[in-house]
Chains A and B, each alone.
Chain A
Amino acid sequence: MERPVTDEDVRAVVADAAASGTPIAPRGHGTRAGLGRPVEHRPLDLSAVTGIVAYEPAELVLTARAGTPLAEIAVAVDAAGQELAFEPPLAGLAHGEAGAGTVGGLVATALSGPRRIRAGALRDHVLGVTAVSGRGEIFRAGGKVVKNVTGYDLSKGLAGSFGTLAVLTEVTLKVMPKAETAATVLLAGLSDARAVAAMTAAMGAPVDVSAASHLPAPAAARLGFPAAVTLLRLEGVAPSVEERAGRLAGLLKPFGTAERLGSAETARIFAALRDGALFADNRDHPLWRVSVAPTAGPAIAAAVPDAATVVYDWSGGLVLLAVDPAAPDAHAARVRAAVAAAGGGHATLLRGAPDLRLRVPPFEPQPAALAALARRLKAEFDPAGILNPGRMDF
């Protein structure tokens, strides 16, 4: 079965692989093949496992087969005035062609965009799944309603598992209404440290900021700004956005005079941030994605003084760093030491040549006890070790 369609087809392929001990790599459109350790296993092509199974806007729930193109889902939810609130990122991050990508690949890689600080991460929006474990058994977890605590939350647990525990065949996601309008309050010329102070102040105010990003001068230039910009997005109904924008500008007076950008400009900027457009043209530069406490952000960037491009998101808690391709280990040691010194977090090598991703662990190495637990979990779900072995270090 080269291109399975039904759950039973997928089960048969996995069961065969388990029986013969042949590693396989679940694959949607392959747009994120550049993420994680490079592996060359026989692909299990899920691109024919398609179709939106159920979508009821008033229930805030959408169920789709795992191979459904995200583009199709985006059109469907947009038509109902809704969206995936976690803002799935990365269209341009050197991982594929525009408009590609499946919902299964989305859940398996679990990356969230700028609205993560307010709306939560991808995993927060996964309500249920149907999957085939490495044992060649079909199982369901979670449910198709927004509130459910029945049993372990395996559906969230499979988010971000890169196809190493189970092959997803169907996912149920929570969708949310799209905001009526948006605006950005912009501060220009701040240092990284001042910018993070401004962003954390804004996040601590009752104005409901839905994205807080800082672009130092080189990154800002790519979006056409003459100096560093600190961007605070507000979303909601028009009178509310209007009032909050005024209030936020007032509150940020100590950091400078704020400018206001309208909804079209806001959409342009945050789509670029979400999709990694600022990193699209230097594709040979390894790219780090570092998650730390927001106030630790500047220390992470400072650890790599010759970084080509730096972008702060999540109010400073997410640092994206494109580094010199000539740096021997893509500065892995420096970045990871900075994360440890910052009191914890993790650094993922989001992009890098295959040989680099073989030398440098793309995912943050874990403490021994945690890694052992992850390996036990992997062994329970995939005892024959056939699902994407090596991609995640286990």
Chain B
Amino acid sequence: MSHPVMPEPDAGTLARRGEIVAAMRRIVPDGTIDGAVGMKPYESDGLTAYRTVPLVVVLPETVEQVAAVLAWCHAHDVKVVPRGAGTSLSGGALPLADGVLMSMMRFNRVKRVDFENRVAVVEPGVTNLGITRAVEHEGFYYAPDPSSQIACSIGGNVAENSGGVHCLKYGLTTNNVLGVEMVLMTGEVLRIGGAHLDAPGYDLLALIVGSEGLLGVVTEVTVRILRAPETARAVLVAFDSAEAAGLTVADVIAAGIIPGGMEMMDKPAINAAEDFVRVGYPRDAEALLIVELDGPPVEVDHLLARVEAIARGRGATDCRVSTSDAERMAFWAGRKAAFPAVGRISPDYYCMDGTIPRRELPTVLARMRELSVKHGLRVANVFHAGDGNLHPLILYDANAPGELEAAEALGADILRLCVEVGGVLTGEHGVGIEKRDLMPAMFTETDLAHQIRVKCAFDEKHLLNPGKVFPELHRCAELGRMHVSGGRLPFPDIPRF
């Protein structure tokens, strides 16, 4: 099995294991796990191809414990990997053999709901759906909706800047979080933002959301809650080319309509889904579009008629508007089951995640077909069409020699293609270790150095979740060196990457 190169476990730290475990047990007496069996569930996250047994697992229950663990590790140069529910698809929560794994799942209380000010204050281990559950009796909800929402934690959402089907209209996590309490690697506790809309000073929240557990451990999150829309209706549209579907998406947006969700599937995905859930998807279609509108009934009806007209104008071969909630759910059933459905037609699949400018869709799909032939593996496509976020599913068999490596190579080629056409490496799953070594495809050394400087300001010793996101971490002192001579900067003599 291939495995991205992780920093070499530090022999000195491994040798101090007994001392480290004892320290953790002192700080968190009833939440320290160091036995092989107990640590097993923490070996990997949603990217299960990679596994590592951590040095020790600690499950703090109070902010004081989090601070004490981090301060101790900081003083003793021990690495720490924060972990939520472990659903990351990019290996963000993969443990380190010479690091403490800190699970935040005992922080599971909804602390305060303030309907008047439309905020909820929750601990990081509360699940994404748990927030909506806590506010729905008053007609409210928390908008970002990763498909993993039943399981993933809001702390993990903050770290990954997660999103879902609703992103185009309601934003990602970064647009829905107002404040956090977090603990720096030194053990210092910070509060940033709160129930008010704008925070003073530098926008530190912008840096923390999406920081993949590298800047601090989040111990409390203040989120915006929204009044749930009254109705939702969807239209299911079939096309005989991906291009026509793509043009329909562009036309809908150009017409000033921002749907609550706009998802596309290609033929392999349509057929896999139909085989699995039998909801009546047209099997001969090359592309299927689901457009959902939400809001007051009059608005939804009005806009749905427009979307239908646009789709027909682009040559839709089939266009069905939901007339009941049951029918709407049926439209979605296939899309929502697309991943497991693909799992049925292939022993394994590898889910990629890149964003492209939507106009490049036909080009990207065509090039992806060529790449698929080149690497000898099939690809099924489901994606968030509204915002150009692709999820190519690469089908492979882990037991067939070389197929995992081929899948990884194809995945990397697809992500490079996304960058090449003006897009980005990840739209919602994060960089983690999965796309770490692809970062130079999108950013120059100087770009990356500036990102690492943020890391240096938060965690100078690079003890929090090292080995993730950045291909190689330079020591801050080295990165910080500024040779000023004759006014010529930057200095190519500083070795990087």
Contact = CB atoms under 8 A, between A and B. Distances in A.
Contact of A139 (B167, B198, B439, B447): B447
Nearest to B163: A147
A123 B201 CA distance: 13
Interface of A is mostly: mixed
Contacts of B140: 204
Which of A144, A151, A381: most chain B Cβ within 10 A? A151
B302 interface: yes
A116 interface: yes
A160 B197 contact: no
A293 B168 contact: no
B295 interface: yes
B43 interface: no
B299 A236 contact: yes
Contacts of A178: 256
Interface stretch (A259-267, A275-283, A370-378): A370-378
Interface string B438-450: 0100111011111
A151 B451 contact: yes
Given A58-B253, A139-B447, A157-B203, A381 B384 contact: no
Nearest to A116: B197
A15 B253 contact: no
Contact of A137 (B202, B442, B451, B490): B490
Given A149-B172, A381-B453, A58 B489 contact: no
B488 interface: yes
A53 B279 CA distance: 45
Interface stretch (A94-102, A183-191, A224-232, A340-348): A340-348
A372 B430 CA distance: 28
A308 B219 CA distance: 42
Interface residues of B, number: 104
Contact of A59 (B118, B358, B458): B358
Interface in A337-387: 343-346, 348, 363-364, 366-367, 369-371, 373-374, 376-377, 379-381, 383-384
A373 B190 contact: yes
A374 B320 CA distance: 54
A206 interface: yes
B359 A152 contact: no
A19 B227 CA distance: 54
A142 to B, nearest CB: 8
A206 B204 contact: no
A203 to B, nearest CB: 6
Given A18-B489, A145-B355, A145-B356, A380 B302 contact: no
Contacts of A138: 446
B190 A140 contact: no
Contacts of B449: 137, 139
Q: Range of interface residues on chain A? A: 35 or more
A295 B114 CA distance: 10
Nearest to B251: A58
B196 A149 contact: no
B446 A137 contact: yes
A43 interface: no
B116 A150 contact: no
A346 B250 CA distance: 41
A135 B387 contact: no
Given A123-B203, A150-B424, A176-B258, A117 B197 contact: yes
Nearest to B254: A58
Interface in A272-325: 291-295, 314, 317-318
B484 A239 contact: no
B298 A240 contact: yes
Nearest to A121: B198
Contact of A366 (B200, B357, B456, B486): B200
A145 B424 contact: yes
Contacts of B387: 145-147
A177 B386 CA distance: 14
A346 B144 CA distance: 27
Contact of B302 (A81, A144, A239): A239
B116 A200 contact: yes
B207 A237 contact: no
B82 to A, nearest CB: 16
B98 interface: no
B231 to A, nearest CB: 9
Interface in B419-444: 422-431, 435, 439, 442-444
Nearest to B384: A147
Interface string A120-136: 11011000000001011
Given A15-B487, A383-B482, A239 B299 contact: yes
A369 B492 CA distance: 35
Interface string A153-166: 11011111100010
B457 interface: yes
A117 B196 CA distance: 11
A206 B161 contact: no
Contacts, number: 290
A380 B424 contact: no
A316 to B, nearest CB: 9
B439 A151 contact: yes
Contact of B487 (A19, A149, A292): A19
A345 B239 CA distance: 51
A124 B490 contact: no
Nearest to B188: A369
Contacts of B358: 58-59
Looking at B209, B227, B251, B458, which has the most chain A CB atoms within 10 Å of its CB? B227
A389 interface: no
B196 A145 contact: no
B357 A136 contact: no
Contacts of B435: 150
A180 interface: yes
B389 interface: yes
24 contacts: A15-B487, A19-B484, A19-B485, A19-B488, A59-B359, A116-B198, A120-B171, A138-B446, A143-B423, A145-B356, A147-B172, A147-B388, A149-B428, A150-B425, A152-B211, A157-B202, A158-B203, A180-B256, A204-B139, A236-B295, A344-B191, A346-B196, A377-B204, A379-B457
Interface of A: 15-16, 18-20, 56-61, 81, 110, 112, 116-117, 120-121, 123-124, 133, 135-141, 143-154, 156-161, 165, 176-180, 200, 203-208, 236-237, 239-240, 242-244, 247, 291-295, 314, 317-318, 343-346, 348, 363-364, 366-367, 369-371, 373-374, 376-377, 379-381, 383-384, 392
Given A15-B487, A367-B190, 11 more contacts: A18-B484, A110-B203, A145-B356, A150-B426, A157-B204, A160-B203, A176-B258, A204-B116, A204-B227, A240-B295, A344-B194
What 10 A-B pairs are tightest by C-beta distance, nearest first? A177-B256, A240-B299, A156-B206, A19-B487, A136-B489, A380-B453, A346-B200, A293-B195, A58-B250, A376-B457
